[in-house]
Chain A
Amino acid sequence: MNIRAIFNVVGVLLVLISGLTLAPIGVSMYYGHDPIEGYMSETSAFEWTFSLSLVSGLLLWKLFPSGLNKLRDREGFAIVTASWLSISMFGALPLYLSGACPEFIDAFFESTSGFTTTGASILQDIDAVPHGILFWRNLMQWVGGMGIILLSLAIFPMLGIGSFHLFKAEIPGGSTVEQTQPRLAETAKILWKTYLALTLFEILALRFAGLNWFDAVCHTFSTVATGGFSPHNGSIGVFDNVYIESIIIFFMFLGGINFALHFQLFRRNFAAIFKNPEFQAYCTLLVVGILFVTWGLTQVSNNGDASQAFRSAAFTMVSINTTTGFVTDDFNLWPEYLKLFVVAIMMIGGCSGSTSGSFKVIRFIILLKIIMRELKKLIYPRAIFHVKVGDKTIDADDLSNVAALTFLFMGLSALGGILLSAMGVDLTTALSATVASLFNIGPGLGDVGAMGNFSEIPAMGKGILILFMLLGRLEIYGVILLFLPMTWRK
């Protein structure tokens, strides 16, 4: 294992993080909140974070100059996992130092939830938190959505050599995502430019719809990243505005689409978008889900108001399916079968190569086709069937990868549920909190439901959920790899 390369890249990323803290320093100076008693002011908390990460980053970067071109896949996974862990640690500093989260595990939970675009929060009264910290939470989501490594690839081209291993380990959807440009740095730049364009459009749209600049920017950050942090306790529900909800639905939907397809959109290659099998399945899933939930809600509400039911169903389905986790309606109060349906939708998620977490639609398609193939094999035992998505045959290795990943996701969900229950959390909360963390959604059911938060989970349980959020964001294999003796053997 090439330890030096790991330290080197982590160093680069910490420098990047220190650069990012400049933005919340500006925000906190603008609003100038009084410090919480017994803690430093938020501005100085960010300044401390800035200096600490800059110094440690530069030290690591310069002390471990290493050839990235000799990277192997295992180092790629190790680097990505180590980077995400360390940036989450440093990202937690402002929250901890300013006293927004008095316990470090809470601050760590919050920042991991930010970078992994989960959107689960332990903050009980979000509206009381100073603006700089709120801005920082959403900025972490925005950066985490497209991927911090990808950002560094776009900014520091010298990382480009041999960093396909990093790309593969970080991008949601992993090997199912096609690289379209000859240079990785180019791909990274195109993805980030697309991401920036979406961000700008949404900020303007939300501002135009009546939000103030702060709310517009913060909500945009967590929408396009499909993260789900909101600077308000009531999430999007507080605005009670159809236009704002529609804008956010639209951009959540876009955030759940493969960014390679956005690039096709800029090139006006519409056929490529509509023929994309994953995009088709994603749209179908959303439409069917929304119709089903609308129907379900009209059955329970007293006056059977279809338009209100549709509004609530559309927002919740898109928010859950893209793994964003914004809420307008407390789905904790929905009938049991709809709650279970919401959890089931959580486990599918958006498209590969998007900012959404979870299992990804493409893997779901592949899984269904594997099942179809097994059935066909029973009819024609000697026939040869290939699993195809669109016209492309999926490699046998990728098929077993998907099947194994399915098992890992299911197994970890069960494991997390058992562990949390053992710590005294009730069954609904334990299971849904695990799923909401592992699949990077945010809100679950029960105590951690749409209007609740994760503050009541025991500290040990938070630790497990932090690990699960990272596992989910990095799609499990890369993280598990680090616990295998084989990885570390010389």
Chain B
Amino acid sequence: MRILIVGAGIVGYNLAQELSQEGHDVAIVDQDPERIRRIVDTLDVLAVEGNACLPSVLIRGGIKSAEMMIAVTEKDEINLLSCFLASRFNVSNRFARLRNMEFTDNSKVFTPEELFVDHAINPGQIIVETILKILETPGVVSVAEFADGEVLLREFDVPENAPIAGKSIQDIRSITQMDSFLIVAIVRDGELVIPKDQDIIQAGDRFYTLVDKEFLPFLLPMLNRTLDQVEKIIIYGATSTAIQLAKALEEDLRDVCIIEPSREKAHRAADKLKRTVVQHGSGTDMDLFNEINMKDADFFLALSHDDENNILSALLAKKYGAKRALVITHDPEYLPILDSIGMDITINPRLITVSGILKHLRRGRVMSVFKLIEDAEVMEIGVDEDSSIVNKKISKIKFPKDAMIGALLRKGEMLLPDDEVTLEAGDSVIVVALPGTIEKIENLFGRKRSFLPFR
């Protein structure tokens, strides 16, 4: 497929790299000669320097034969206009990153389709939704969703006094008597293992669980958590994402405070928010932390555009007593060190955008992928008619030792992967796989692996 990407920022670059490696013919357009040079030097794609709002530039990028346009420049206006031009050139699939909430939330005047955009990706909105999910599930470390939100993947801490601590996997299964909840991986001392029936959950572990979305509230008591624990939230950086998040949070009557170093931005935030207290100050100001009682904070969210300030302020906030910290880093290079310095949750907006777009591209193959630590993955894979495992009982499939089927989805219902269940075409399965086994699994399903950089 011929694909034209507009905008060679981090997102555009990652997409170009990803798609080109998968065998697509990729052209990329950007105005910045520096970015174009970097792409020419490192990737096997056609790089065109010029303004993407000009039809002549798009023609140079081969839009006449392109089947897909992905507009991911910094500006919504440019993305919208280039998608419109693409529709004039009869490009059938048009993706755009639209950051302004007005294009994507419920108050929108026109749907993206009416603006000639087939799929609009709003990273800010995805981040806000992700953070809200994390906040509404106490003790959760990371979240992902499968089967259009029917099945939730959640990573939890196990606190000292949790009823679940000290129980084996088998015990837990017999207590709950539920087929909507399965522990699919345990992280102990930084190592991830796929649990066996007799393995025991210990305090201080983290575990990944697949859970039916209806069942989530029943899971929390087992971890000795209640739903209303997050009361005081402190946000660093009054970005539009932060404002959107604060708006949602203040509706729940939560105690929200935003710290913003720029007076102008602080005023803009105060203008848009009602109950939230906007403080003008730096994210590393101890006096300010004291003034707003950082030690009582349930959650510290570092959401500014500056990675280094985000990390530093989150470190200081935790030092000062904030119970949990979430950091946004834009540069993927920081991701590996964040766990080791005690950041509870990290989010990377650029990679969220890439995954968001790739998910649409991959429809019918690996539906989505969520990366766990150490390159282990949770994948949602569709069972096709022509694959080698269709119409087989699960017990008959030669599954690798370090992988397991976590859940089976049939017509929107979550089933536990009993040995006696037969896989049917149209089902999808959620598979947890350690790094060595991923290739084998792909062979089993007759599918090439899809890589989704997330987290």
A 381-405 binary contact with B (CB < 8 Å = 1; else 0): 1111110100101000000000000
CB-based contact A380/B267 at 8 Å: no
Pick out which of these stretches binds chain A: B19-27, B74-82, B144-152, B274-282. Answer: B274-282
Contacts of A380 in B (CB 8 A): 277, 279, 291-292
Known: A383-B279, A383-B280. A388 touches B288 (CB 8 A): no
B 239-275 binary contact with A (CB < 8 Å = 1; else 0): 0000000000000000000000001001101110010
Q: What distance in Å separates the Cβ of A390 from its nearest Cβ neighbour in chain B?
A: 10
Main secondary structure of the interface of A (DSSP, over half): loop
Q: How far is the CA of A388 from the CA of B267 in the complex (A)?
A: 13
Please tell me the number of chain B residues within 8 Å of chain A, measured between CB atoms. 15
- Using CB atoms, name the residue of chain A closest to B263: A384
What are some 23 contacts across the A-B interface (CB < 8 A)? A376-B277, A380-B279, A380-B291, A380-B292, A382-B279, A382-B281, A383-B278, A383-B279, A384-B263, A384-B266, A384-B267, A384-B270, A384-B278, A384-B279, A384-B280, A385-B270, A385-B277, A386-B267, A386-B270, A388-B274, A391-B274, A393-B270, A393-B271
Which of B266, B277, B288 has the most CB atoms of chain A within a 10 A radius of its CB? B277
CB-based contact B274/A382 at 8 Å: no
Contacts of A384 in B (CB 8 A): 263, 266-267, 269-270, 278-280
Contacts of A381 in B (CB 8 A): 291
Contact with B271, one of A376, A382, A386 (Cβ below 8 angstroms):
A386
Q: How far is the CA of A393 from the CA of B266 in the complex (A)?
A: 14
Q: How far is the CA of A376 from the CA of B292 in the complex (A)?
A: 13
CB-based contact A382/B291 at 8 Å: yes
Taking A383-B277, A385-B270 as known contacts, 5 extra A-B pairs with beta carbons closer than 8 A to each other, sorted by chain A number, are A380-B291, A381-B291, A382-B280, A386-B267, A386-B270
**6 cross-chain pairs, A with B, having the tightest CB-CB distances, nearest first:** A384-B270, A386-B270, A393-B271, A384-B278, A384-B266, A383-B279
Contacts of A393 in B (CB 8 A): 270-271
B 218-257 binary contact with A (CB < 8 Å = 1; else 0): 0000000000000000000000000000000000000000
Interface residues of A in 360-416 (CB under 8 A from B): 376, 380-386, 388, 391, 393
Q: How far is the CA of A376 from the CA of B277 in the complex (A)?
A: 10
Q: How far is the CA of A393 from the CA of B271 in the complex (A)?
A: 6
Contacts of B267 in A (CB 8 A): 384, 386
Contacts of A376 in B (CB 8 A): 277
Q: How far is the CA of A6 from the CA of B229 in the complex (A)?
A: 67
Which A residues fall within an 8 A CB radius of B?
376, 380-386, 388, 391, 393
Contacts of B277 in A (CB 8 A): 376, 380, 383, 385
B 288-300 binary contact with A (CB < 8 Å = 1; else 0): 1001100000000
Contacts of B281 in A (CB 8 A): 382
Q: How far is the CA of A381 from the CA of B291 in the complex (A)?
A: 9
Contacts of A388 in B (CB 8 A): 274
Q: How far is the CA of A380 from the CA of B277 in the complex (A)?
A: 9
Contacts of B271 in A (CB 8 A): 386, 393
Q: What distance in Å separates the Cβ of A277 from its nearest Cβ neighbour in chain B?
A: 12
Q: What distance in Å separates the Cβ of A101 from its nearest Cβ neighbour in chain B?
A: 54
Contacts of A385 in B (CB 8 A): 270, 277-278
Q: What distance in Å separates the Cβ of A378 from its nearest Cβ neighbour in chain B?
A: 12
Contacts of B266 in A (CB 8 A): 384
Contacts of B292 in A (CB 8 A): 380
Q: How far is the CA of A342 from the CA of B429 in the complex (A)?
A: 75
Q: How far is the CA of A367 from the CA of B278 in the complex (A)?
A: 21
Q: How far is the CA of A383 from the CA of B267 in the complex (A)?
A: 10
Contacts of B274 in A (CB 8 A): 388, 391
Contacts of B280 in A (CB 8 A): 382-384
Q: What distance in Å separates the Cβ of A196 from its nearest Cβ neighbour in chain B?
A: 35
Contacts of A383 in B (CB 8 A): 277-280
Contacts of A382 in B (CB 8 A): 279-281, 288, 291
Q: How far is the CA of A384 from the CA of B266 in the complex (A)?
A: 7
Q: How far is the CA of A385 from the CA of B275 in the complex (A)?
A: 10
Q: How far is the CA of A177 from the CA of B292 in the complex (A)?
A: 38
- Using CB atoms, name the residue of chain A closest to B269: A384
Q: How far is the CA of A385 from the CA of B269 in the complex (A)?
A: 10
Q: What distance in Å separates the Cβ of B274 from its nearest Cβ neighbour in chain A?
A: 7
Q: How far is the CA of A379 from the CA of B97 in the complex (A)?
A: 41
Q: How far is the CA of A380 from the CA of B293 in the complex (A)?
A: 11
- Using CB atoms, name the residue of chain B closest to A380: B277
Q: What distance in Å separates the Cβ of A380 from its nearest Cβ neighbour in chain B?
A: 6
Q: How far is the CA of A309 from the CA of B219 in the complex (A)?
A: 62
Q: What distance in Å separates the Cβ of A29 from its nearest Cβ neighbour in chain B?
A: 60
Which of A385, A386, A388, A393 has the most CB atoms of chain B within a 10 A radius of its CB? A386
Q: How far is the CA of A382 from the CA of B271 in the complex (A)?
A: 16
Q: What distance in Å separates the Cβ of A393 from its nearest Cβ neighbour in chain B?
A: 5
Q: How far is the CA of A95 from the CA of B288 in the complex (A)?
A: 69
Q: What distance in Å separates the Cβ of A271 from its nearest Cβ neighbour in chain B?
A: 15
Q: How far is the CA of A382 from the CA of B258 in the complex (A)?
A: 12
Q: How far is the CA of A382 from the CA of B267 in the complex (A)?
A: 12
Which of A383, A385, A391 has the most CB atoms of chain B within a 10 A radius of its CB? A383
Q: How far is the CA of A376 from the CA of B278 in the complex (A)?
A: 12
- Using CB atoms, name the residue of chain A closest to B274: A388
Contacts of B279 in A (CB 8 A): 380, 382-384
B 112-140 binary contact with A (CB < 8 Å = 1; else 0): 00000000000000000000000000000
Q: What distance in Å separates the Cβ of B160 from its nearest Cβ neighbour in chain A?
A: 35
Q: What distance in Å separates the Cβ of A145 from its nearest Cβ neighbour in chain B?
A: 35
- Using CB atoms, name the residue of chain B closest to A396: B267
- Using CB atoms, name the residue of chain B closest to A388: B274
Q: How far is the CA of A406 from the CA of B160 in the complex (A)?
A: 61
Contacts of B269 in A (CB 8 A): 384
Q: What distance in Å separates the Cβ of B325 from its nearest Cβ neighbour in chain A?
A: 22
Q: What distance in Å separates the Cβ of A379 from its nearest Cβ neighbour in chain B?
A: 9
Q: How far is the CA of A391 from the CA of B271 in the complex (A)?
A: 9
Q: What distance in Å separates the Cβ of B251 from its nearest Cβ neighbour in chain A?
A: 13
Q: What distance in Å separates the Cβ of B250 from its nearest Cβ neighbour in chain A?
A: 13
- Using CB atoms, name the residue of chain A closest to B260: A384
Q: What distance in Å separates the Cβ of B276 from its nearest Cβ neighbour in chain A?
A: 10
Q: What distance in Å separates the Cβ of B102 from its nearest Cβ neighbour in chain A?
A: 15
Contacts of B291 in A (CB 8 A): 380-382
- Using CB atoms, name the residue of chain B closest to A376: B277
Interface residues of B in 274-328 (CB under 8 A from A): 274, 277-281, 288, 291-292
Q: How far is the CA of A388 from the CA of B280 in the complex (A)?
A: 19
Q: How far is the CA of A388 from the CA of B269 in the complex (A)?
A: 13
Q: How far is the CA of A381 from the CA of B266 in the complex (A)?
A: 14
Which of A381, A384, A386 has the most CB atoms of chain B within a 10 A radius of its CB? A384
Q: What distance in Å separates the Cβ of A152 from its nearest Cβ neighbour in chain B?
A: 38
Q: What distance in Å separates the Cβ of B256 from its nearest Cβ neighbour in chain A?
A: 12
Q: How far is the CA of A393 from the CA of B292 in the complex (A)?
A: 24
- Using CB atoms, name the residue of chain A closest to B285: A382
Q: How far is the CA of A479 from the CA of B197 in the complex (A)?
A: 88
- Using CB atoms, name the residue of chain A closest to B292: A380
Q: What distance in Å separates the Cβ of A398 from its nearest Cβ neighbour in chain B?
A: 14
- Using CB atoms, name the residue of chain A closest to B278: A384
Q: How far is the CA of A267 from the CA of B49 in the complex (A)?
A: 53
Q: What distance in Å separates the Cβ of B237 from its nearest Cβ neighbour in chain A?
A: 14
- Using CB atoms, name the residue of chain B closest to A381: B291
Q: What distance in Å separates the Cβ of B144 from its nearest Cβ neighbour in chain A?
A: 35
Q: How far is the CA of A383 from the CA of B279 in the complex (A)?
A: 4
Q: How far is the CA of A388 from the CA of B279 in the complex (A)?
A: 17
Q: How far is the CA of A376 from the CA of B275 in the complex (A)?
A: 12
Q: How far is the CA of A383 from the CA of B269 in the complex (A)?
A: 11
Q: How far is the CA of A385 from the CA of B267 in the complex (A)?
A: 8
Q: How far is the CA of A386 from the CA of B263 in the complex (A)?
A: 13
Q: What distance in Å separates the Cβ of A115 from its nearest Cβ neighbour in chain B?
A: 40
Q: How far is the CA of A391 from the CA of B274 in the complex (A)?
A: 8
Contacts of A391 in B (CB 8 A): 274
